[in-house]
Amino acid sequence: MTGLKISELIENNEDWIKEKLKTDKNYFTKLSKGQNPRYLMISCSDSRVPLNSMLKAEPGEIFIHRNIANQINMTDINFLSVLEYSIEHLFIKHIIVVGHYSCGGIAAAVDGVDQGLVENWITPVNDIYNKHNEELSKIKDTQKRMDRLSEINVLEQAKNLIKIPIYQRALKRKKYPMLHAWIFDIYTGKIIQQDLCFNEFIQNGLLPEDYVSYFEDNLL
C-alpha cells in the first residue's frame, strides 16, 4: 500500500465532511451533542485492524481502547479508566475483545526480540504461549501457530476482564455488559467469534447463574 501524504489526509477529511453533509445537513450538529455507544471494543493497535470501517459503524457507535496485542492488564490505568467510564457512565451493553491473525505483538512475544518497552508489555503473551505450549508445539507451520496463539490470547484477555473489580461490581448491580471474544481474520476480512465457555466462570462464582440466559435474551 502507498502511504498517504499529510495533504491527502486533509483533503480526504474535506471529502468525508461533504459526504456526511450531503446525507444529513445536521450530521455534525447531532454528533456534537454526545455519544451513546452500545459497544466497548478492546483491540490491538495494529493499523490493519480498521474497527469502524470493517463493521460499517458510524462515529459514536463504538467506544474503543487499543493497545499492542489487545492486552487486558490489571495495572493499566488507561484501560481501567476506559472500562469504568464505559460501564458506569456510557452504560455500554457489550464488551468485545478483538484480536487478529498475523499480529506482530503476538509474534514478538514468542520470538523474544529485543523491542524495549514493547517486550515488557507483551510478556504476558509469552506466559500464555508457555501455558499452552503442548498444543501449540504440535502446529508445525509458524504462522498458523502464531494465529492459534492469537485466538488463545483473545480468550485469555476476555477471562482477565471478567475478574476485574469494575466488571464484577457491574454484575453485582445486575448490569450485565455481555462479553465477547473475536478474531479478525486479516487474510479474508472476516470476524471469527471465539467460544468463551461461560459455564466455567459460573461454576467458579465469577459470573452469576443467569448470565447465559440474560445473554441470550439481550443479544441485540
Radius of gyration of the chain (CA): 19
Pull the grid cell for residue 181: 471474544
* 180 labelled catalytic: no
State the catalytic residue, choosing from 103, 147, 148, 180. 103
State the catalytic residue, choosing from 65, 94, 100, 180. 100
Gap between the Cα atoms of 73 and 161, Å rounded: 8
* 48 labelled catalytic: yes
* 103 labelled catalytic: yes
* 46 labelled catalytic: yes
* 197 labelled catalytic: no
Query: Which amino acids are annotated catalytic?
Result: 44, 46, 48, 100, 103
